[in-house]
Amino acid sequence: MRVFTLLGPSQSGKSTLAEAIAALDGRSDRFDLCDTVHLHGFSYLDEPWCAIDVDGGRDAMGHAGRALAMSDAAVVVAPPDPEAAVLCAPYLRLTEAAGIPTFLFLNRMDSPNGRIRDIVAALQGYCSHHIALRQVPIREGENIVGAVDLISERAWRYREGQPSALIELPHSVEEREQEARAELLEALSDYDDHLLEQLIEDKEPPSGELYDVAAQVSRSHQLVPACLGSASHGNGLTRLMKALRHEAPEFSVLADRDAAAGSARAIAGLADIRKHLGKITVLRGLGDGARAHEPLGGGAVGNLLELDARAQRQDLAAGHVCLAVKSDHLSPGHVYDAQGATDLPGWAAAPPPGLRQVITPAHERDEARLSAALAKLAEIDPGVVLSQDPGSGHAILGCQGPQHMRRISAKLAEDFGLEIEAGPVATGYRETIRARAETRYRHRKQSGGAGQFAEVSLTVEPLPRGSGFDFKETVKGGAVPRNYMQAVAQGAGEALAEGPSGYPVADVRVTLTDGKHHAVDSSDLAFRIAAKTAVRDALVQASPIVLQPIMNAEIHLPSTHVGDLVPVISTMQGRVLGFASDPDAPGWDIFNAQLPAVSQDELHRVLASVTRGTGWVALEFDHYEEMHGPVPAAAAMA
């Protein structure tokens, strides 16, 4: 079985292309995963194929890397507009990082918004491998009615919903065809010395030899061929499939790309959870493959199903794709042998989350069920990252964006029967002090039985940023017995849990200087209460200030949008640290900045708008600094 992944921005016609290709030879099977990935099993020229269609847009990007890890080749579907090339940039970047042979399909050629050479030039800005146009269009007025293959030099006229018809090469396209063919042969000759010699000697290379060279450079991902067509009209599909059939690499290349060991038996790339089926894992066989009810990944495989999710099969041969059910120990993102698992390479990982929300169940009784359901979703969806809010203890769900969040909410309701409420994540403000303060407090309580007595004298003073809490004692003469020191330190620490503005206090030293005790009425509890009250009083006198967390932001975005981002960072009270070209991704920049943590959700929203959904940011806490302006109420941030 041959497997390829279709990638491309939203509204590029990618799903239409997948369905049209799958229907070329008649019957096909389809299976949808997480509402964002669509598997099409079909036959083409009596050979089994599987096309993995990943929805466009940032919200589905997390599945793209794992889909590529299961594939022999990638097809990037591009809109027919030079201005839209930037929307293809994340997909070209991913295929470059994966090292997977890539084919471009310039779709909707029935209504292009620019010249073909301009579209290819715009796409080339985001691709380190040369993009070689394999066809040129045949025009009648402003309409594209066919295409010329630049290797065979045969012309084809498009027919609505039917295979294209072979026609004579029109005179109007001869000059452009010769120019484009010369460019293609020159590009191919960079990888074949014999072809280079023929061109130098002005010899016409045979078409068969050119096809062989084209296949060789495509399989080794030395060049990216570009084909033309219109999926909605059925144009250019056969040419694309022929390119995939002859120029995509053999299945064995996949194991090397995924760093699979010789003992590997299957790769698990994708998964879903269905209400009545449970967990479904998509497997592609490696090596000796896998069999139902035999060991894989340290546990027994359950049932193996065809892509129609109905017909069962007993084994999974190398290169083939199937669905594994009743195999909960298998998780996507791994290469499995009989007894263990290996993670997929780093390029298959999802981008960092673009939206974080505190998730709580609509009904308190569902707290435990929600926790288990979120863990299962994080296991099947690479775009989901779970953490815990330190203040409330509620789950924090990181996802790729608002649309992704809506899908998660719908899935929790439909497949788990859970209703949730989502809210913003509270910013982790802190407090500290700027001055030294001294205080004395006596705790006395008498209520019939044994009383409580403790008196402490202490000082609080600021420490450098990041020092935390330090406790010292300089008591002399046994005014406070040694056995009560730990209680004093504990009470001081409890007082720092909430400062005058309601936030935890940091970078403070508390020193116990003096005190008094009673032989009968003093206790650990009494000294803890005294210390806690004394520290709270001292904090008010010590010029308290609120600190806000500052994040380091490493923003990855197409170079054309860098200028738009500079004023955005300034409006968020951030600091631009600099930006430079990304050495690993043509046409991309890495933009470094620092900004208050309270602005990170706004940064994600604005970044999506500024970069048209192509950029992403990795955030990391750096330090706390004094906050100027109005101090947010702690209750409002809870």
Q: Does domain 355-423 have CATH number 3.30.70.870?
A: yes
Q: Residues spanned by CATH 3.40.50.300 within the chain?
A: 2-249
Give ∠ CA 274-389-354 in degrees, rounded to 5: 65
Question: How many percent of the chain have pLDDT more than 70?
Answer: 99
Contact 37, 67 (CB under 8 A): yes
Write out pLDDT tens, residues 309-355: 888 999 999 999 999 999 999 999 999 999 999 999 999 999 999 99
**Class level of CATH domain 435-542:** alpha beta
Q: What CATH code is assigned to 547-637?
A: 3.30.70.240
Work out the mean pLDDT of the chain and round it to a whole number. Answer: 91
Residue 519 tokens, joined = 């032989």
pLDDT at 166: 93
Three-class SS of 12-30: CCHHHHHHHHHCCCCCEEE
Write out pLDDT tens, residues 192-245: 899 889 888 888 888 889 999 999 999 888 999 999 999 999 999 999 999 999
| Backbone φ and ψ of 633, nearest 5° | -70, 140
pLDDT at 161: 79
Q: What CATH code is assigned to 2-249?
A: 3.40.50.300
Least confident interval from 187-196, 489-498, 583-592: 187-196
CATH superfamily of 258-348: Translation factors (2.40.30.10)
What number is the average pLDDT over the span 599-616? 92
pLDDT grade for 449, boundaries at 50, 70 and 90: low
pLDDT at 451: 84
Asked if residue 466 has pLDDT above 90, the reply is: no
pLDDT at 250: 82
Residue 535: closest CA among 467, 438, 432, 443: 438
Q: Kindly tell me the burial class for residue 288, based on how many C-beta atoms sit within 10 Å of its own C-beta (0-12, 13-18, 19 or more).
A: middle
Question: Rounded to two decimals, what is the model's pTM?
Answer: 0.89
pLDDT grade for 635, boundaries at 50, 70 and 90: low
β-bridge mates for residue 223, sequence order: 130
Write out pLDDT tens, residues 34-79: 889 999 999 999 999 999 999 999 889 999 999 999 999 999 999 9
Measured CA to CA, the distance from residue 154 to residue 144 in angstroms comes to 16
Measured CA to CA, the distance from residue 481 to residue 310 in angstroms comes to 77
Residue type, 213: V
What number is the average pLDDT over the span 626-633? 79
pLDDT at 637: 43
Write out pLDDT tens, residues 523-553: 999 999 999 999 999 999 999 999 999 999 9
Q: Residues spanned by CATH 3.30.230.10 within the chain?
A: 435-542
Write out pLDDT tens, residues 259-305: 777 889 999 999 999 887 889 999 999 988 999 999 999 999 999 99
pLDDT at 175: 92
Residue count of the chain: 638
Write out pLDDT tens, residues 94-123: 999 999 999 999 999 988 888 899 999 999
Q: Residues spanned by CATH 3.30.70.240 within the chain?
A: 547-637
Q: Residues spanned by CATH 2.40.30.10 within the chain?
A: 258-348
| Backbone φ and ψ of 91, nearest 5° | -75, -40
pLDDT at 448: 63
